[in-house]
Amino acid sequence: MKFKKTLFALAATSALFAGMPAAQADDQFVSLLSYRVGPYGNNGISVFGGWIDYMKLVNAKGGVNGVKLTWEECETEYNNARGVECYERLKGKSPTKGTMIHPVSTGISYSILDKTLADKVPLVMIGYGRTDAVDGRYFPYAFPLVTTYQMQASAMLKFISQRLGGKETADLKGKKIAFVYHDSAFGKEPLEVLRAESALNKFEVVEIPVAHPGIEQTAQWQQVRQAKPDFVIFWGWGAMNSAGLQAAQKVGFPREKMVGVWWSGAEEDTVPAGPGAKGYMAANFGVVGKDIPLIKDIVDTVYKAKQGDMKDESKIGSVLYSRGVLHGLITVEAIRTAQAKFGKRVMTGEEIQWGLEHLKIDQKRLKELGAEGMMPDTKVTCADHEGSGKVMFQQWDGTKWNKITDYLEGNRTLVRQLLDASAKKYAEEKKIQPRDCAAVDAGTETGAANKKTAKK
Amino acid sequence: MLYRETGQFKTTYAADQQIFPIRQDRIAIGLLLAVAFLGVPLVADQYWLSAILIPFLIFALATLGLNILTGYAGQLSLGSAAFMAVGAFGAYNFILRLDMPIIPAFLLGGLCAATVGILFGLPSLRIKGFYLAVATLAAQFFVVWGLTKFGWFSNYSSSGVITAQDMEIFGFPIDSPVSKYLLTLTIVSLLALMAKNMVRSNTGRSWMAVRDMDVAAEVIGIPLMKTKLLAFAVSSFYCGVAGALAAYCYLGTVEPDYFTLDLSFKILFMVIVGGVGSILGSFFGAAFIILLPIFLNIVLHPLFGLFGIDISTAIVSNMELMIFGGLIIFFLAVEPHGLARLWQIGKEKLRIWPFPH
């Protein structure tokens, strides 16, 4: 009896699932694993708002070579389990399997890494996620695009050296740098490269972890004050950022000697910290602001038609919003690249993988799109799934972020050595062989799959 | 009508003491298992298997583990996620370093968790209730910290992340969602059966005696230390196996931060909502906490669409949280003993239907 009821309930539920509208087959369907509630909801609203606005703009202008974009959002709450569920749910909605997945969360990236590989859907992690995936020989479907945490940390050191009057990282000799970080996979990612750099260039790194969520940091900043570092690298996310800026102000550490990771350098972080944030610097992909032609275009086309995704229009042009626009831009450019080879139609995950592996976005192309300076020149290949590795730095003047440097590049050789070792270890554990990138580039081998190592 | 035990006579002790004394129950559970093992793999698609059923089973197992400790032995714990983490990282290291088959590795992972569980269960000999919960919090923080701090556990991955190796059993590869589902289902069913028998045996009875009044239990000759620590060990073993399954059959790549305090709380809520001190309740609780938000999320959008209201994703997400919270309060207010108790009441009613008294 009860069992019957359960069966009936199950049947009813599955009927509901089946009755859901499926995406149009002649549209390019994009899965959006978004988060608009929960601890990082505020950040998610800007990122996904920018991304959706860009796709709306592309559609308003006729789509990608005539192919319209459609998308569906699924709320992940920045929660790994929900992210997996959303990925699986949206995957079944169209033959594109979601085009490419940007989880905008390191945790979710890890959770779906294996699944995207099995499903042949590219997993794109712009500035977060599994960084050793830059080695495309072992990670055919994972793309930590633009730059990784390691390259960024290395570039930061160069930047600090320049701020302290030097030129290269080597000029940091004898200096002391404090590394205040979110004590998680995200915060620990750059530790290895910082240690290697400090051994190489003979400067000292003081590691100061902050436990999640990092709302109370007085103790850590007392530690900073005692250590008297020449500079502080601040590696936070979410609520930790504004709390850190306020704590720095409290102990009297100058914000002009603080540089943040790009997840610590948005209006969402500096505005709540009030005047205490003035002078603080952070890494970023490129310029931001409302004056960029592309952003203006979005306002004129999308918002004039009352189609915009942002409820709070003052956030248009903010750091995270611009980053969202870049997510859209990279998605569309990869589709376009793939279309140039496979024809002007809806692309599958495998075709997009090819598109991403041959993606080339330079300032000329960005200028055509009205987005000059929004990101560094990026050229992805089979062997290099990062494509650039450069970052620029920006400073908060109390009301907005201003660009203060050109693109800087860290010690690529050093970082690549570390990442390669990590990727090799992954391959050993997984018992896979590297792809032959020379053959892939020459086009003689199209397969984007790793062969298994022979059994012992 | 259908659910009536009239005419079912028990002539042996064995028949009287079986898990499902009523024939209809036996048929129902047999059918359920048949559907789960044979029917589901045939009809369910990848989404159902890897996003709904596998996590449901894994969390049901973890809930079962905590239920043994909290529901049966009366020891409150907030360390379930930590024990899951120990299981996951334990299994990973056994496979990596000893090249072990997966089933023994999972079990050894579970045993590692049991050892850690005993260690953090030691305070339970002196403290009780909420104070014990706070003491087990230490497990939660210590384990996650230890796994990130000492690189050995994650084979020196810079961010502390582990990637599950490929699995096979007797040469049969476990790589598709169906095979992973079947593996999970088999392990969970066997462990659930074991748990059910354990709580009906001498062990379970001493746990319940300790739960109800430990001084009295000691007076009638139940060794407190052994009983409490055994409960911690068994409970952590279950959580550990669940953690290994989560790493290998569900996620594939896990970071220590996946096993946060949040997850521990979630498992505790599953126990409370499902029914404290009930094996079946663990499954109900897991289903409620995991499946309901997803169900709400899927249903709300079309529901508003039906009335022609176009509603933003953010509002739907917030509504989902509110409805979910409301439902938890509703169920706890209506039946503080959880969904398992509701189920039992339903069964009682069915037995006397249509003549209630």
Does B231 have pLDDT greater than 80?
Answer: yes
- Cβ burial of A423 (10 Å; 0-12, 13-18, 19+) is buried
Best probe of the A interface among B255, B300, B311, by most A CBs < 10 A, is B255
Region A354-372 average pLDDT:
92
pLDDT tops 80 at residue B80:
yes
Per-domain residue ranges of chain A: 25-147+289-379+422-442, 149-284+391-410
A212 vs A206: CA distance, rounded Å: 19
Q: How many CA atoms lie within 13 A of B203 on its CB side?
A: 17
Segment A394-404 shows an average pLDDT of 91
Residue B287: the pLDDT is: 93
What is the mean pLDDT of the segment spanning A138-161?
Answer: 92
CATH code of domain A25-147+289-379+422-442: 3.40.50.2300
Q: Considering chain A, what is the average pLDDT of its residues?
A: 87
Listed in sequence order, the residues at least 6 apart from A434 whose beta carbon sits closer than 8 Å to its beta carbon are: A137, A138, A427, A450
| Chain A residues closer than 8 Å to B320 by CB | 75
pLDDT in tens, A111-122: 898 889 888 999
Fold of the B23-352 domain: ABC transporter involved in vitamin B12 uptake, BtuC (1.10.3470)
Of B155, B299, B346, Cβ closest to residue A16: B299
Q: What percent of chain B is predicted at pLDDT more than 90?
A: 51
B165 in contact with A at a CB cutoff of 8 Å?
yes
Per-residue pLDDT for A19 more than 80?
no
pLDDT at A21 over 70: no
Q: Higher-confidence residue: B203 or B167?
A: B203
Q: Is the model's pLDDT at A7 over the cut of 80?
A: no
Q: Which candidate, A77, A135, A59, A129, places its Cα nearest to that of A100?
A: A129
Q: What is the pLDDT of residue A445?
A: 61
Q: Dump pLDDT digits (tens) for B85-138.
A: 999 999 999 999 998 899 999 999 999 999 999 999 998 888 888 899 888 999
Res A184: pLDDT? 77
Tokens of B221: 């000759």
Q: B250, A84: Cβ pair inside 8 Å?
A: yes
Indicate whether B160 pLDDT > 80.
Answer: no
Write down the pLDDT at residue A376: 92
Burial class (CB in 10 A: 0-12, 13-18, 19+), B335: middle
Three-class secondary structure assignment of chain A: CHHHHHHHHHHHHHHHHHCCCCCCCCCEEEEEEECCCCCCHHHHHHHHHHHHHHHHHHHHCCCECCECEEEEEEECCCCHHHHHHHHHHHHCCCCCCCCCECCCCHHHHHHHHHHHHHHCCCEECCCCCCHHHHECCCCCCEECCECCHHHHHHHHHHHHHHHCCCCCHHHHCCCEEEEEEECCHHHHCCHHHHHHHHHHHCCEEEEEEECCCCCCCHHHHHHHHHHCCCEEEEECCCHHHHHHHHHHHHHCCCHHHEEECHHHCCHHHHHHHHHHHCCCEEEECCCCCCCCHHHHHHHHHHHCCCCCCCCCHHHCCCHHHHHHHHHHHHHHHHHHHHHHHHCCCCCCHHHHHHHHHCCEECHHHHHHHCCCCCCCCEECCCCECCECCEEEEEEECCCCEEECCCCEECCHHHHHHHHHHHHHHHHHHHCECCCCHHHHHHCCCCCCCCCECCCC
pLDDT at res. A14 = 46
pLDDT of residue A18: 41
Does pLDDT of B243 surpass 60? yes
For the residues B254-263, what does the mean pLDDT come to? 87
Percent of chain B with pLDDT over 70: 99
Does the beta-carbon distance from B347 to A3 stay under 8 Å? no
- Portion of chain A with pLDDT greater than 90, in percent: 49
**Topology agreement, domain A25-147+289-379+422-442 and domain A149-284+391-410:** yes
Closest among A135, A153, A157, A131 to A144, alpha carbons compared: A131
Query: How confident is the model at residue A448, as a pLDDT?
Result: 66
Supply the pLDDT for residue A446.
58
Mean pLDDT of A160-181: 90
Compute the count of residue pairs across chains A and B with CB atoms less than 8 Å apart. Answer: 135
Q: What is the mean pLDDT of residues A374-379?
A: 92
pLDDT for B265: 92
Three-state SS for B101-159 is CHHHHHHHHHHHHHHHHHHHHHHHHCCCHHHHHHHHHHHHHHHHHHHHHCHHHHCCCCC
- Residue A20's pLDDT is 43
Per-residue pLDDT, B197: 94
State the pLDDT at residue A15.
43
Q: Band of the pLDDT at B1, cuts 50, 70, 90?
A: low
Annotated domain spans of chain B: 23-352
| Dihedral angle, C-alpha A344, A349, A350, A356, nearest 10 ° | 80
Pairing label, strands B172-174, B167-169: antiparallel
Read off the pLDDT of residues A211-255 as tens digits, 9 standing for 90 and up.
877 888 989 999 999 999 999 999 998 888 989 999 999 899 999
Search chain A and give the residue with CA nearest B33: A3
B160 touches chain A (CB under 8 A): yes
Residue A413: burial class (beta carbons within 10 Å; 0-12, 13-18, 19+): exposed
Rounded (5°) CA angle A451-B246-A82: 100
- pLDDT for position A311: 86
Whole-angstrom Cα distance, residue A63 to residue B158? 41
- Indicate whether A456 pLDDT > 70: no
- Residue B188, pLDDT above cutoff 80: yes
Q: What is the mean pLDDT of chain B?
A: 89
Q: Which CATH class is domain A149-284+391-410?
A: alpha beta
Identify the closest residue of chain A to B40 by CA–CA distance: A10
Q: CB–CB of B163 and A426 under 8 A?
A: yes
Model confidence pLDDT, tens digit, residues A101-111: 999 888 899 88
Rounded to 5, what percent of chain B is helix, strand, coil? 75, 5, 20
Nearest to A85 among B1, B294, B347 (CB): B294
Tell the residue number behind the tokens 């569900």, with chain if given: B250
Lowest mean pLDDT among A228-242, A293-307, A435-449: A435-449
- Mean pLDDT score, B22-51: 90
